[in-house]
Amino acid sequence: MSVLSDLSRRNFLKAFGAVSATATLAACGGAPAQTEPSASEASASASASVSEASASESSAAAAPAAGTIAVCLASEPDVIDPALNSSVDGATMIVHLFSGLSKWEKQGEAFVIVPDCAEELPEGETDADGKITYTYTLRDGLKWSDGKDLTANDFVFSWNRAASAELGADYGYMFENVDGYEAISEMKETGQTDEDGEPIMEPANPDAKLNIEAVDDKTFKVVLSTDVPYWNELLAFPTFFPVREDVVSDEAWCTDPSTYISNGAYKMTGWDHNSVITVEKNENYYDADSITMDKVEFYLSDDANNMLSNFENGSWQLIDDVPTNEIASLKEKYPNEFVVAGQIGTYYVGWNVNEEILPAGTTLEGVEAENARAEIRRAIGLLYDRNYIVEEIGQAGQVPASSFASMGLTEPDGSEFYKNAGDNDGYDGYYDVSAEATESNYNEAVETLKKYYTFDEGTQMFTDFPTLTYLYNTSESHKAIGEYLASAMAQVGITMNLENQEWNTFLNTRKAGDYSVARNGWLCDYNDPISMLDMWITSSGNNDCQFGKGAHASVAAYSCDLTDLGYDLKVENGTWAETYDQIIATIKSESDNEKRFALMHKAEDLLMSTGAICPLYFYTDLYMINEGVKGFFSIPLGYKFFHYTTFEG
Amino acid sequence: MDSKTLMYILKRIVLAVVTIWAVITITFFVMKAVPGDPFASEKAVTPAARAALEAKYGLDKPIFEQYLNYLTGALHFDFGPSLKLRGRDVTAIIFDGMKTSARLGLTALVIATVTGIILGAVAALRRNSIIDKIIMVLTTAFVSMPSFIMGTLLLILFAIHLKVLPANGATEGGLILPVITLSLYPMAYITRLTRSSMLDVLGQDYIRTAKAKGVSERNIIIKHALKNSLIPVITYFGPELAYIVTGSLVVEQIFAVPGVGRYFVSSITGRDYPLIMGTTIVLASLIVVMNLLSDIMYKIVDPRINLE
């Protein structure tokens, strides 16, 4: 998982959403350069397992000192159940309260994955069927916060619960690589139809389980259908954390400290709804001695102004959001306390590929028409000055984006994925986003558009571009960006009206493809480009651009050639399903990491060639932290760690 | 109380129930007609999970059946589980928030009413004095200033610069600033209302008569003048309550007060159907009941008023 939230509380989900959106933009401010390197290093070393020794050394670095820290990440999370949580702030609380097989740790400037409940993180063993078995030995003496023993059976129960359709967790799909998940997610028709005449579906195998097993109390065995290089990182994702069957049998268990039994470095000792959640050191945690902060108070508020007031008067030591319009002055007033951190995610404009943008009466059809649409969309992407957007509108240190896969995603060799994207030298990604290139981009765009539309040399405007509508969810920052995009297009005579919708309606409209152009954004849940690329396959629930859907299903205008990498896939003028879907399927079944990354670049090349994705900037995470706090770190997924902090006010 | 009044009260109660039923019905169908659903999110849940969730919460049933189920539940005061805040019942969520909201609202209500009446009376009795002028200037300011500005000013002054009161409504003493913010507007309004009404009453013949009969000034003010000048104040009781209920939504946000206010908006954006219904029913009932009480009090204070 990899994201950060500028949106601090916010759901990963909601992350870009209503609330968060503001934060986002708002959020990113200051000095991304400082944090980027660590993000990339993080991922570089993340997949390697690290010895326990080095892990404990680093955590022992801060001198133990008693204390309490008060922080405010966001308003109350909907639910603080590791399996059901879908917010970044909720995840932060959960990494304090629970402990999975692995965990994040900061070593030097890098963020690494180290064993937690597991004694070590072994390599998987591949069997004859190509399935991969991981066998974990749990540490001695693992206990729940109420003193009961934690066993491998707890992991078996928790994983099956989290993956089940019955629980309906947003992140249930994170188990997709585990053998048996396919049966869990399979649907069948009930034979009945709903009010719209659509068949009503139900899970085909309600009793299906994951292929995981407790060999004995201390040995937990997992079988994967395909191996993934980020597997160890997934183990540190809250969805994979253990919960105990007798505890969670009552759904209300995670709403009250008296029933909140956990196994992490902290236990919950107080919860005033919508006010504060208090966690205190859990003496039953195996590594309790290295935890320096005794008590963390998570105050619950989503009002950035209120957060700032409490930060400024010293009540809270960390706040995860600041008022957008204060960013500039806060940067000056608190140069050491105002932090902009890297975050893996991209803010972009998405086109509905089924929207006709060719001029009325065009003679183009078939492949030519589709290629023309792609060229036009790409050209319009060049009309925008991304530096203006991040400097004048975002104002929070966001980085102009020239590719969809975000900054912060790294290659096996540790280099940035986005820097290797595209095939042009001289700049990163698919086009040049430097300030110097703004004018040449603009001219190039106009020249391209002239091929398809009537250009009035007198007014320097196109006269027959169909009117577009830009859809965004209601928020000042999204609106400001929309207005800028519209004005940039108006300069060449293209009319783009703005339409805003309330968050939930917006999600619905965008998902249904009932729009022409819409704002969009994505924060990664783990550091691997596939977490951004697989959302564009035809069947994906997040395929808002409608690739391969509706009329686009029969558009045969895409080509791909994987023969140079040794695969038997070469398609010319195929449909989206025959090309993009196939590349993603190939990536998911490939365990050679070098090849996976080569394939992922090809997938992104194809995706970007459609012009339907127009990246604007990479997200950053912004927060303020009291200078007296030492030993704090936050990872590019946005989780904040107070375990090893000390605070002297 | 005569039988006519009782009949009237009874009729009003029946009407109140019908009103609440109408609110439930309209809200239910409008809410379902709005696009979107509680399980929508930027990262889509799998179809299997969605189907399981819909079945679990009965959202897969025909809408009229859902409506009947809801009404049956509501009759037994069972408002169902929240769809977003998993594991929590709507009743518990609202009750939890209400404890704080009611404390905030009632304190503000009492302070606003009592101070308003006293200041209004003082201003009227000391008409055109310097005290009267100060009171009038201040109340004009308070009436014209929206609570979000007033709240922010108080916050900056007392919580950030002077650091004498907390900025967070959840901490000890945290309700002081929200109560002040919330009560200033109705307090100022009541002050002005009492003042003008009192001036009016003080000019009436029966006051002059009382004076001529030698009734002490104190008795004149308390027994005759004040009581009669309170009638407009009582009519303001309904709107005052409505102001406090809606105003607290803003004030709770500014001071991060853990009240019920935030759910009015968040339940709708999240399409948390049971919570939308719950908050709406509570708000509607509150206003219906308070209007009823205000009308009854009206009658008690001035028996001449014909409620029909």
Check pLDDT > 80 for residue A9. Answer: no
| CA distance linking residue B257 with residue A307, whole number of Å | 12
Q: Do A86 and B41 touch (CB under 8 A)?
A: yes
Residue type for position A435: A
List the 562-591 stretch of A: residues with Cβ below 8 A of B: none
pLDDT of residue A16: 35
Residue in chain B nearest A195 by alpha carbon: B62
Does residue B47 sit within a domain? no
pLDDT band at A394 (very low <50, low <70, confident <90, very high): confident
pLDDT attached to residue B292: 83
Decide: A620 and A27 in contact? Cβ < 8 Å: yes
SS3 A405: coil
Range of the domain at B166: 98-270
For A150, other C-beta atoms within 10 Å of its C-beta total 22
- Mean pLDDT, residues B253-266: 85
Per DSSP, what are the bridge partners of residue A363? none
Q: How far is residue A466's CA from residue A355's CA, in Å, rounded to a whole number? A: 10
State how far the Cα of A87 lies from the Cα of A85, in Å rounded to an integer.
6
Residue-wise pLDDT tens digits, A522-554: 999 898 999 999 999 998 888 999 999 999 999
The continuous run of DSSP H or E covering A42 comes out as: helix A32-46
Q: What ipTM does this complex have?
A: 0.77
Structure tokens at B191: 């002050």
Residue B54 is assigned to a structural domain of this protein: no
Chain A stretch 315-334, residues whose beta carbon is closer than 8 A to a beta carbon of chain B? 315
B255 within some domain? yes
Instruction: Work out the average pLDDT over A547-569.
Output: 93
How many domains does the structure of chain B reveal? 1
Put simply, the chain A residues between 154 and 173 with a CB less than 8 A from any chain B CB are 164-170, 172-173
B139 domain-assigned: yes
Q: Look at B6 and A142; give whichever has higher pLDDT.
A: A142
Burial label, B289 (beta-carbon count in 10 A; 0-12, 13-18, 19+): middle
Residue A324 contacts residue A398 (beta carbons within 8 Å)? no
**CB contacts, 8 Å: B55 with chain A:** 202
Q: Out of B52, B87, B253, whose CB is closest to A252? A: B87
Which residues, at least 6 apart from A560, have a Cβ–Cβ distance to it below 8 Å? A569, A570, A571, A574, A579, A580, A582, A583, A602, A606
Q: State whether A165 and B270 contact (CB < 8 Å).
A: no
Looking at every residue in chain A, the average pLDDT score rounds to: 86
Yes or no, beta carbons of A502 and B269 under 8 Å apart: yes
Give A153→chain B minimum CA distance, Å: 24
Contact B86 A187 (CB under 8 A): no
Candidate from A13, A168, A305 with C-beta closest to B43: A13
**Highest mean pLDDT, choosing among A325-334, A516-525, B209-218:** A516-525
Chain B contact set for A167 (CB, 8 A): 49, 52
Confidence band (pLDDT; 50, 70, 90) for A39?
Answer: very low
Task: Tell me how far apart the alpha carbons of residues B247 and A236 are, in angstroms, rounded to a whole number.
Answer: 44
Mean pLDDT throughout A410-433?
Answer: 87
Which A positions 72-91 lie with beta carbon below 8 A of chain B? 75, 78-79, 81, 84, 86
Return the pLDDT at A495. Answer: 95
Q: Which SS3 state, helix, strand or coil, does residue A122 take? A: coil
| Chain A residues with CB-CB distance to B34 below 8 A | 504-505
pLDDT tens digit sequence for A88-127: 899 999 999 999 999 999 998 889 999 999 999 999 999 9
Contact A606, A582 (CB under 8 A): no
Q: What is the mean pLDDT of residues A265-280?
A: 94
Residue A201 exposed, middle or buried by CB count within 10 Å (0-12, 13-18, 19+): middle
Whether pTM exceeds 0.90: no
Which letter does DSSP use for residue A389 in this model?
A: I
Query: What would the pLDDT profile of A466-478 be if each residue is shown by its tens digit?
Result: 999 999 998 888 9
CA distance A167 to chain B (A): 7
- From CA A440, how far away is CA A5, in angstroms rounded? 34
Region A363-383: mean pLDDT is 93
Give how far Cα A11 sits from Cα of A7, A289, A302, A473, A626, Å: 8, 32, 12, 15, 25
How many C-beta atoms surround the C-beta of residue A176 within 10 A?
A: 18
Tokens of B188: 């100022």
Is the confidence at residue A299, as pLDDT, over 70?
Answer: yes
Which residues from chain A sit within 8 angstroms of residue B37, using beta carbons?
Answer: 504, 508
Which of A16-20, A129-133, B35-39 is the least confident region?
A16-20
Contact A168 B259 (CB under 8 A): no
A189 to chain B, any CB pair closer than 8 A? The answer is: no
Residue A202 and residue B166: Cβ atoms within 8 Å? no
d(CA B32, CA B28): 6
pLDDT in tens, A150-172: 999 999 999 999 999 888 888 88
The CATH number for B249's domain is: 1.10.3720.10
Q: How far apart are CA A450 and CA A457, in angstroms?
A: 11
DSSP code at position B223: I
Distance from CA of A542 to the nearest CA of B (A): 6
Please say if the pLDDT value at position A267 is more than 90.
yes
Gap between the Cα atoms of B43 and B61, Å rounded: 25
Cross-chain Cβ contact A172/B46 below 8 Å = yes
Alpha helices of A98-188 — where are they, by DSSP H?
152-163, 181-185
Whether B37 sits inside 8 A of A504 (CB atoms) is: yes
Q: What is the chain B residue with the closest CA to A252?
A: B87
Asked if the structure places residue B280 within a domain, the reply is no
Asked, for residue B109, whether it belongs to a domain, the answer is yes
pLDDT at B50 over 90: no
Which of A32-46, A624-638, B288-302 has the weakest average pLDDT?
A: A32-46
State which residue of chain B sits closest to A273, comparing Cα positions. B258
Q: Do A144 and A284 meet the contact criterion of CB atoms below 8 Å apart?
A: yes
Encode burial over B220-257: b for 16+ CB neighbours within 10 A, e otherwise: bbeebbbebbbbebbebbbebbebbbebbbbbbbbbbb
Cβ contact (<8 Å) for A185 and B84?
no
Query: CB-based contacts of B59: which residues, under 8 Å, 6+ apart?
Result: B37, B38, B53, B66, B273
User: For A528, which DSSP code?
Assistant: S
A378-382 contacts at long range (C-beta below 8 A, 24 or more positions apart): A378/A448, A378/A609, A378/A611, A379/A444, A379/A445, A379/A448, A379/A449, A379/A611, A380/A445, A380/A449, A380/A489, A380/A494, A380/A611, A380/A614, A381/A349, A381/A431, A381/A445, A381/A611, A381/A614, A382/A431, A382/A441, A382/A442, A382/A444, A382/A445
Per-residue tokens: B110: 């009492």
Which pair of structure tokens corresponds to residue B40? 């929508």
- Kindly state whether residue B133 falls inside one of the protein's structural domains: yes
Q: Are residues B48 and A273, on separate chains, in Cβ contact within 8 Å?
A: no
pLDDT cut 90: percent of chain A above it: 66
- Residue of chain A with shortest Cα separation from B93: A273
SS3 state of residue A133 = strand
Question: Which residues in chain A (496-515) have CB-CB distances under 8 A to chain B?
Answer: 502-505, 507-509, 511
A30 Cβ contact list (under 8 Å, min separation 6)? A331, A338, A339, A340, A396, A397, A622
Does B234 fall in a domain? yes
CA–CA separation, A544 and A565 (whole Å): 30
The predicted-structure confidence for A430-446, as pLDDT tens digits, reads as follows: 999 999 999 999 999 99
pLDDT at A66: 55
Q: Are B233 and B191 in contact (CB under 8 A)?
A: no
Residues of A in contact with B46 (CB under 8 A): 165, 172-173, 185, 541
Q: List helix spans (H) across chain B.
A: 3-33, 47-56, 63-75, 90-125, 130-144, 147-154, 176-202, 205-212, 217-219, 227-229, 231-235, 237-254, 261-269, 273-301
Which residue in A251, A180, A164 sits closest to A212, CA to CA? A180
With an 8 Å Cβ cutoff, is A542 touching chain B?
Answer: yes
Supply the pLDDT for residue B14: 92
From chain B, the residues in CB contact with A84 under 8 A are 86
Residue A91 has a pLDDT of: 95
B166/chain A closest Cα distance in angstroms = 8
Angle at A268 (CA atoms; ends A265, A272), nearest 5 degrees: 150
Which of chain A's residues have a Cβ under 8 Å away from the Cβ of B256?
275, 299-301, 303, 306
DSSP letters along A433-491, please? -SGGGHHHHHHHHHHHHHTTS-EETTTTEES-PPPEEEEEES-HHHHHHHHHHHHHHHT
Residue of B nearest to A15 (CA): B42
What was the pLDDT predicted at A576? Answer: 96
Length of chain B: 308
Give the count of Cβ contacts less than 8 A between chain A and B.
178
Residue A304 has pLDDT above 80, yes or no: yes
Q: E strands along A217-323, which residues? A: 219-224, 266-272, 276-281, 295-300, 318-319
Stretch among A594-608, B177-191, B216-230 having the lowest mean pLDDT? B216-230
Confidence label for A18 from pLDDT (cuts 50, 70 and 90): very low
* B interface test, pick of A73, A78, A321 with most B CB neighbours within 10 Å: A78
**Chain B within 8 Å of A619 (Cβ-Cβ)?**
no
Per DSSP, the three-state class of A207 is coil
